[in-house]
Amino acid sequence: MFNEIIEYLNLGSKKTIVDATIGTGGHSMAILERIKPDGRLVAIDRDSESLAISRERLHQLCSNCEFIHENFAKLDSVLESLKIKKVDGVVFDLGISSYQLEDPHRGFSFRNDGPLDMRMDRNSYISAYDLVNNLNEEEISALLRTFGQERWHNRIAHLLVEERGKHPIATTVQLASIVIKAIPPRFRHKYYRIHPATRTFQAMRIAVNRELENLEIAINKAIAVLEKKGRICVISFHSLEDRIVKHTFRRAASEGLIKIITAKPLTPSESEIQSNPSSRSSKLRVAERL
């Protein structure tokens, strides 16, 4: 939904835009083209490697850009440190990038074997290894149910605890194969359109990075710093995120802070899904500051 984001942000020269999830800079490149020569971009990511890539990629377009390694939940203090009081647009493109997913060392993918890490910010303390090897069975089960909406949460948690009694679960492929083994054989393929370990990996990633609590905080902070008629655009990738965006927007609308532009979330076209299958579950919600 690249084109929709760019369209809904109402870009133009002199605007100040926050890309709260710059990743490797795809959205920001298009934003910069439309706010030059006098616009300002504040680019945030909690992943220092992605930030370095986007900085390198965009530096020729950037006369007035700030690249900040921070959690977007600290949006207010980021802007305060830059002495920026109001902005014209904020974009959140949630989740992880294909750059992060495809790097086996980051431990996000069950397809490439790597250490069980999943930290977006490698300075943070807790990794997926810590959760998988230290939480008790009930805690793992609750985590899989709440953050993964995983039907077989009890069975997976039970087998994980049994297996880690033999040796620690240290890699992504180890975790994925335990998940597959825990699911009754007749459901392994029938029940899942997706890989059977997808929900477990989603749940672990959300917990490691505390993704849901950061999101609500950040949306409220973004709304607070928007200029009148400024826009906030949020792309989410699963229903847990989308529910938070929807409710946070509704609450702000009921307080008279914003007008919701997308009564229903926008979803990708068939052709976008064909060319980028991972966009299949994405939803875009947009609101405007009153």
Ligand X SMILES: C[S@@+](CC[C@H](N)C(=O)[O-])C[C@H]1O[C@@H](n2cnc3c(N)ncnc32)[C@H](O)[C@@H]1O
Give the footprint of ligand X on this chain (CB under 6 A): 21, 23-27, 44-47, 50, 71-73, 93, 95-97, 120, 214
Phi-psi region of 229 (alpha: psi -120 to 50; beta: other; left: phi over 0): left
Q: How far is the CB of 158 from ligand X (least distance, A)?
A: 31
- In whole angstroms, how close is the CB of 176 to ligand X at the nearest point? 22
Q: How far is the CB of 204 from ligand X (least distance, A)?
A: 15
Q: Least Å distance between CB 232 and ligand X?
A: 15
User: φ, ψ for residue 16 (rounded to 5)?
Assistant: -110, 120
Spacing of C-alpha 200 from chain mean position:
16
Is the Cβ of residue 21 or residue 200 nearer to ligand X in the bound state? 21
Q: For residue 80, what is the enclosing H or E element?
A: helix 75-81
In the complex, the smallest distance separating the C-beta of residue 218 from ligand X, rounded to whole angstroms, is: 7
In 84-209, which residue ranges form alpha helices assigned H by DSSP?
A: 98-102, 128-134, 137-148, 153-166, 172-182, 185-188, 198-209
Residue 68 or 226 with smaller CB distance to ligand X = 68
Would you say 31 or 160 has its CB closer to ligand X? 31
Is the Cβ of residue 23 or residue 196 nearer to ligand X in the bound state? 23
| Burial grade of 101 (CB within 10 A; 0-12, 13-18, 19 or more) | middle
SS3 133: helix
C-beta closer to ligand X: residue 21 or 172: 21
The contacts of residue 78 (CB under 8 Å, 6+ apart) are: 42, 44, 68, 70
